[in-house]
Amino acid sequence: MILEQKTRLAKRIAESGIASRREAEKLIIDGKVVVDGQTVITPVFFVTDQNEVSVDGNVIAKKNEEIIIWKFHKPSGVITTKNDPQHRETVFSGKNFHQRFIYIGRLDYNSEGLLLFTNNGDVARKMELPSTGLKRVYRVRIFGDLTEEKIDKLKKGVTINGIKYGSADIKIEKRSMNSWITVTISEGKNREIRKMMEYVGCKVSRLIRVSYGPFNLDDLQPGSIKKASKQEIKQLFNYILK
C-alpha cells in the first residue's frame, strides 16, 4: 500500500503562486481557505494532491494539472471581481465554469477588451510581473491635443502623484480632437493609461485592450469567451521561461 504524500496547506498554496508561504498562513488564519468544502483556520494542516483547495473562492490548480487559459471580451460596465458589494455585473456573472479560474490583470469598470483567466496561480502571477515583459496593447480614443512632445514625454516614463509609470509606446491612428491611438505598455498599473493621458492634458473616452502577450482579442465579440490554443500557451511559456 502506497501512502499519498502530504504537504502543509500553506506550502501547497505558496506553490500555486497565489501567495507567499507567510501570506498563505495568514489567509488560512483569516478563514479564507477551504479544503474539500470545509473552511480551515489552522496553518497546521496537511493535504494531498487529491484534496481540492480554494483561496477566496478560487480553486488552485493541482500539481501536473493541464494549464488552461480562457480569453474573454469584457464589455464596458462590467467589474473585474468575483463579488461586488454594489451588486454590479461582474466578469463571473452567469459564467459558473469560471468560478475556479483566476483573472490575469484587470480591466477597470469602463474599459473593454481582452481579459484572460487561468486555472494556474503561478502562471497568473508571472504574467502580471513587469519583469516578465509581456506587452499589453490597447486601442484608445482620447479627447485633446496629443502632441509629439507629449508622446515623447510618456515614452520616457513619468511620475504621477509619486507613482512611477514606465515607458509607453504610442502611435496615432487618426489625429483629431477625438483621436484614436494605440498604446503599448508592460506594467498594467491601476488606470495607468487614463492617468498618463490626464497628465498630458487629454481625456480617455474609450479604452479597449486588444492583446496581452501572445493572446489577441481578434474577432471575439463583447461578452464572448474562447479557450486559448495550445500554440498560444506554448508562445506564452517562451516568455515566462526565458
Q: Which residues are catalytic?
A: 108
Looking at residue 60, what DSSP letter applies? Answer: P
Asked if residue 10 lies in contact with residue 24, where contact means CB atoms within 8 angstroms, the answer is yes
List % helix, strand, coil for the chain (3-state, nearest 5): 25, 30, 45
From the list 93, 73, 32, the residue with the least C-alpha distance to 223 is: 73
- Rounded Cα distance between 27 and 113, Å, is 32
Q: Cell triple for residue 122?
A: 503561478
Asked if residue 91 lies in contact with residue 80, where contact means CB atoms within 8 angstroms, the answer is yes
- Rounded Cα distance between 156 and 200, Å, is 13
CA angle 72, 76, 227 (to 5 degrees): 5
Q: 143: helix, coil or strand?
A: strand
- Rounded Cα distance between 193 and 11, Å, is 37
